[in-house]
A and B are shown apart, each in its own frame.
Chain A
Amino acid sequence: MEKFFRRNFAGYAFLAPWLIGFFLLAIGPILASLYLSFTKYNIVRPPQWIGLDNYFYMFEFDDRFKKALQVTFTFVTISVPAKLIFALGVAMALDKGIRAIGWYRALFYLPSILGGSIAVAILWRQLFNYDGVVNSALRLVGLDGPYWLADPKYSLWTLIVLAVWQFGSPMLIFLAGLRAIPQELYEAAEIDAAGPVRKFFAITVPLLAPVIFFNLVLQMIEAFKSFSGAFIISGGSGAPLDSLLFFTVYLYDEAFSYLRMGYASALAWVLLLIIAAFTAIAFWTSKYWVHYENERG
């Protein structure tokens, strides 16, 4: 043991900054929030143990909790497939061997870097304002655009568009996946007179399935956790009429507007369980549609 320690000391020493950060800033708070989720805690007074009351209240009485779930599920079920389809479309277009592809890749990736930022959320607010760029453009073609942000019928769509616009990282991964598909398969299919649609569904999709699956899981988790866009565009409250009340925005509101830290911690754990459940479902279904090259079928 002592020998082991002496031999590996330098290794652990170099790991220390990360290990300390991980235990102090990640594991510590995570466990603390699990404990707090069973308490009533308003920051100023010490936490009070109330057992499962936070969870009971959430499922029995809390209408905003249900609204938050509804908004978040709508966002995830629309934005994730839309983003993946869009990313795959762009990746296939770029895969045609265009000149200066490096530039295009960088250009299309840019929104992914910018997209999560506060500045872009504010920009989005300006774009979709009633007097904003989008409605001005619509007016040019004689259309009277709606109040995108003030009307709950449309507000969520502005955020879905914002999410789809950040298609860069799945696109890059798709692009790499497309490159790995052997050209001979397409050539053979052409000899058998397969059209582009047939080639897409019979060759591209099955061979790309592992990559699609990877992107799906990653983007789904990302979408469940989405916060800054909704927070900024709704002014921090999920307005109008809670139509932008993402789960994370509700959690923040409970924690910092109403100082219900215990309840907010319980909400955070419910979100974690939801994400875990959906990821597990995705992995379970993948058995039926994702096949890897080295598998025996």
Chain B
Amino acid sequence: MSRLNRRTFMTKAGAAAGSVAVLSALGPQAFGQDKQVRHFWWGNPERDKRTFAVIDLYNSKTPGTVVTGETLGFADYFTKLTTQIAGGNMPDVIQQGYGVLFEYIANGAVVPLDDYVGKSLDISKIDQSAIDAGTVDGKFYALSIGANSHMAIYNTRLFEEAGIVAGTDFDPYGYTYDDLARIGAAIKEATGVAGTDDNTADYQNFSDFTAQKGVKMFNPDGSYGVTQEIVEEYWSTWQMIRDAGATPPGPESAGLAGVSDLSQLGVVTGKSAMSYVWSNQLVGAQGLVQDTLGAAMYPNTPAMIPGSIVQPSQFVCLTRDSVDPEAATAYMSAFVNDLDMTAILGLERGIPSQSEVREALQPNLSAAEALSVEFFAGIQGKTAPLDPPPPSGSNEIEQTFERVAVSVLLGDKSITDVATDFLAQAKAILARA
């Protein structure tokens, strides 16, 4: 072997490094012409399992296209997406929720699908209401992958042990906050487990309550429509339920304010018999508990004005960074229309918005999925109309609500003071947005 001095070593090493760089730059061209589609969603273990199975199926059905999946929990999903926007490398297909979606459309991160409709993207069998929900200023942006509504899920074993029968002791589609206090206390009495989670810091329940009072969350001019009386009454109502002994202790609920993880729900941890979720989370939550779960609407006031809405739970959208929009929209189309793929997805993301898919799923539903369908039949005519998209800043108001409500749970400030503080902050947030 020839002697290797430093200079020749450096030269050779440099040449070797250079050729590696050239090879890898040529890589994609040199090693195949597959179209690449990246699909990014937030999920839970159940959803991830199903979605990856669907991606595998699509890849085997569609030679020439390679779909890859990326997933994160809800809490981290939007952080990652934000950094991807900044880096100009968003995946082709992303999942969006009602609400946040409109900020992404306004910012141009999500692009219209109209050019692909009737070509790579088939929406002929999608419900008109779902198409309308994904349309802004006459342009179609977002493909609904499931309808959703607020749902209370309860542990049927604990309800039985306390001798509480749905339909007799309470109407799952029309019970009051007073009923909830009574049932919750009875369950605590009989089983030692708190009857219900405490929703003092739950903005979703609060938005229902506001609608139940006949008030819109936002005025047409974009200002906050909620009044001091409504905030105070909402927190007093839950104070009443807490004082009846139906919930875990206030400080314990305070520790869970703003936590969205399914594994932290009272019905999952066993700390309470009833928790409050979006209906499409029923399947995921049932996967985490041994006992059978039951489903009910959120509680209401005696006037029974509808408060919950039915809205698309999630959309798939095309991003402006998409490299191959044709391939991406073809995949999106299959995701909502292909009967083999939708059979795997089931109802995990909500009730599908495509009529043939719904029919095909009917015979093979799991118990939890059948319960979702039954729930959707039960809430017909008992829900409120969908509001226009919320103004930007609504997300921050929601987080502010969750934060200040902790004072109410800890009991260290009067409900009146906290409500005043909350509304002042909400006003400031909207003024700044």
Q: Which residues of A contact B (CB under 8 A)?
A: 42-45, 57, 61, 130, 146-147, 149-152, 235-237, 239-242, 256-259
Contacts and interface: CB of A to CB of B under 8 A. Distances in A.
Given A256-B79, A257-B399, A241 B407 contact: yes
Interface size class of B (residues with CB under 8 A): 20 to 34
B104 to A, nearest CB: 8
Given A43-B82, A151-B254, 5 more contacts: A44-B104, A147-B255, A151-B410, A239-B406, A241-B410
22 contacts: A42-B107, A43-B85, A44-B107, A44-B108, A44-B109, A57-B432, A130-B251, A130-B255, A147-B254, A150-B410, A151-B251, A151-B410, A236-B75, A237-B258, A239-B258, A239-B406, A240-B254, A240-B406, A240-B410, A241-B404, A241-B406, A256-B79
Given A151-B410, A241-B406, A235 B251 contact: no
A177 to B, nearest CB: 42
A149 B255 CA distance: 7
B357 interface: no
Interface in B96-128: 104, 107-109
B42 to A, nearest CB: 15
Interface of B: 75, 79, 82, 85-86, 104, 107-109, 251-252, 254-255, 257-259, 395-396, 399, 403-404, 406-407, 410, 428, 432
A61 B107 contact: no
Contacts of B85: 43-44
Contact of B399 (A146, A237, A259): A237
- Among B75, B403, B404, B407, the one with the most A-chain Cβ atoms within 10 Å of its Cβ is B403
B258 A150 contact: no
A22 B109 CA distance: 31
B201 to A, nearest CB: 10
A239 B396 CA distance: 15
B79 A147 contact: no
Nearest to A245: B403
A235 B259 contact: yes
B82 to A, nearest CB: 6
Contact of B251 (A57, A147, A257, A258): A147
A150 B251 contact: yes
Contacts of B404: 241
A241 B201 CA distance: 12
B405 to A, nearest CB: 10
A26 B107 CA distance: 29
A242 B402 CA distance: 11
Nearest to A234: B258
A240 B82 contact: no
Contacts of A151: 251, 254, 410
Give the one of B108, B109, B254, B428 with max A CB within 10 A.
Answer: B254
B88 to A, nearest CB: 11
B207 to A, nearest CB: 19
Nearest to A236: B75
Contacts of A239: 257-258, 403, 406
Contacts of A257: 79, 396, 399
A239 B255 CA distance: 8
Nearest to B400: A64
Contacts of B410: 150-152, 240-241
A200 to B, nearest CB: 43
Contacts of A152: 406, 410
Given A43-B86, A44-B109, A150-B252, A240 B75 contact: no
Q: Which of B104, B259, B410 has the most CB of A within 10 A?
A: B410
A126 B83 CA distance: 30
Contacts of B107: 42, 44-45
Contacts of A43: 82, 85-86
A44 B399 CA distance: 22
Nearest to A13: B10
Contacts of A235: 258-259
Contact of B252 (A44, A57, A147, A242): A147
B27 to A, nearest CB: 23
Given A44-B109, A237-B399, A150 B79 contact: no
A242 B400 CA distance: 10
